Amino acid sequence: MSRHGNIKRILPALAEKLGDRLSVSEAVRQHHGTSLTYLAPALPEAVAFAHSTEEVSHIIRLCNEADVPVMAFGTGTSLEGHFLATEGGLCIDLSGMDKIVSIHAEDLDATVEAGVTREDLNHALRDMGLFFPIDPGANASLGGMTATRASGTNAVRYGTMRDNVLSLTAVMADGEIIRTKGRAKKSAAGYDLNALLTGSEGTLGIIMEITLKLYGIPEAMSAAVCHFEDLESAVKTVVETIQTGIPVARIELADALQMSLINKYSELDYAAKPTLFLEFHGSEQSVREQAEIVGEIAAGQGSGDFRWASRTEDRNKLWKARHDAFYAVQANHPGKDFWATDVCVPISRLTDCIMQTYDDIEKTGLVAPLVGHVGDGNFHLTLVFDKKDPAQVNRIEAFNGRLVERALKLEGTSTGEHGIGIGKKKFMTLEHGPALHYMQAIKKALDPKNILNPGKIFDLED
């Protein structure tokens, strides 16, 4: 049974609570129901701009009683349609919850509201000699990053959001407010609700506050790029670097096509060849030693000299260019549609997975620039196509299916960091088998009316 229209029963109560922070305008609904990539828009019936956890709790209670679907919205940068209102309902915009609640420099942690972005937090930490390392590229909200278990360029050294969330405050489907644990670095007290909610994509609870691990800014940081004559040599350099145990902070891959687009978009002059972006953190001596060893490995695979960026402004320019890779593809293909996808495999299987995928790209005739957080086995493709052309859509869907199946055969996963959302839920049975039934059971237990972000990750059995 459709739930579209149920919200009419609670609009007066919402309006009384929120005033002009409740909107039903077409423009606002469009903004909160349109994703960055190929997925069709799915608009909420109203948008609530929340300012407090207690306010969200009140809203959720109203929605639960009236059987109204609820989607949380941060900055709208997710790539698999996580916030799309496939069943209508209410979108709760958390961007106004942007307070840094506390910073405990002596304990290396901070508590922030869900709408704080990673750049906001790092700006506040800069003068304390601290930083938060998870860096997915977009200036995403930390609530959204937690909900999607985000990763990024620093994951090879600092891990993902899963590894850096100490505690959460969340509003559950019945409106109750819970805190998953305290600020202690470890706990053996009961089920790990912290880990359960991190990566649940808003389907089990709406994350309101997050306590995060912080790190000291390294004494020395140095970044470099190096080019290779072929993609396989670049990937083998990554694999050997990781297997050697070098604590590289970032090691990113871009293929020749992606490098040409990066150069054009960011006005750089790097060679349009398969390229590694690297960064080393530590003491002056350790950074120098790490760079020398990686340089020897790269030279063994035919790379020329590193091109260094040691000054902060040069490093920032380098990494901004890498983070703008998706926008570089968009800018070069006006009027086209974009299917962003990712997979992740064990590092020992990375070369096989990338080379088989590249062979598939060439045989299929796709435009599919490749980049990757390859230090942890994760790579991304931006597939360029016209969604009005059924033949192109079918070709892209078939390619994406082969990509996922290839990764799973190599003991990997259908997504290293984009998440499932709508786009990849059809692969969940293939990846998880009977374990998927237990995920569905958890969802039913915590959200029996299925109001929290319905239709994401998996569909519920009747």
- Edge to edge, what strands does the sheet with 100-104 contain? 100-104, 109-113, 206-213, 165-171, 177-179
Domains of the chain: total: 4
Beta bridge partners of 294: none
Residues 207 and 131 in one domain: yes
pLDDT given for residue 297 in this prediction: 95
Q: Which backbone phi and psi does 434 adopt, to 5 degrees?
A: -60, -25
Mark whether 247 and 337 lie in a shared domain: no
On whether residue 309 sits in a domain, the answer given is yes
Residue 299 lies in a domain: yes
Two tokens, residue 72: 């949380």
Q: How far apart are CA 461 and CA 129, in angstroms?
A: 50
User: What range defines the domain where residue 225 resides?
Assistant: 220-326
Low-confidence spans in the chain with pLDDT less than 50: none
Domain end among 308, 326, 344: 326
- For residue 402, give both structure tokens: 């082969």
The residue from 193, 216, 239 where one domain ends is 216
Listed residues 293, 326, 359: the one ending a domain: 326
Residues 140 and 109 in one domain: yes
Written as six digits, the tokens of 303 are: 């790379």
Looking at the structure, tell me whether residues 123 and 108 fall in a common domain.
yes
> Which domain CATH number covers 367?
3.30.70.2740
| pLDDT, tens digit (0-9, with 9 covering 90-100), for 338-380 | 999 999 999 999 999 999 999 999 999 999 999 988 889 999 9
**Quick one: 376 and 295 in the same domain?**
no
- Asked if residue 437 is part of any domain, the answer here is no
Please report whether residue 430 resides in a domain: no
Among 458, 457, 455, which residue's Cα sits nearest to residue 3? 455
CATH number of the domain within which 208 lies? 3.30.465.10
Residue type at position 37: T
* pLDDT given for residue 308 in this prediction: 87
H helix or E strand, kind and range, residue 399? helix 390-409
pTM of the shown model: 0.93
Is there a domain that residue 428 lies in?
no
Residue 45: inside a domain, yes or no? yes
Which CATH number fits the domain that encloses residue 84? 3.30.43.10
168 within 8 A of 209, measured Cβ to Cβ: yes
pLDDT at position 203: 98
Q: Are 197 and 252 in the same domain?
A: no
Cβ neighbours, 10 Å, residue 352: 14
In a domain? residue 171: yes
What's the confidence (pLDDT) of residue 1? 61
Residue 150 belongs to some domain of the structure: yes
Together in a domain, 276 and 378? no
Residues 173 and 268 in one domain: no
Q: 285 with 304, same domain?
A: yes
Please indicate, yes or no, whether residues 317 and 365 belong to a single structural domain of this protein: no
Question: From CA 460, how far away is CA 462, in angstroms rounded?
Answer: 6
Segment (H or E) for 63:
helix 53-66
Residues 402 and 306 in one domain: no
Whether residues 231 and 293 share a domain: the answer is yes
Q: What is the CATH number of the domain that holds 306?
A: 3.30.70.2190
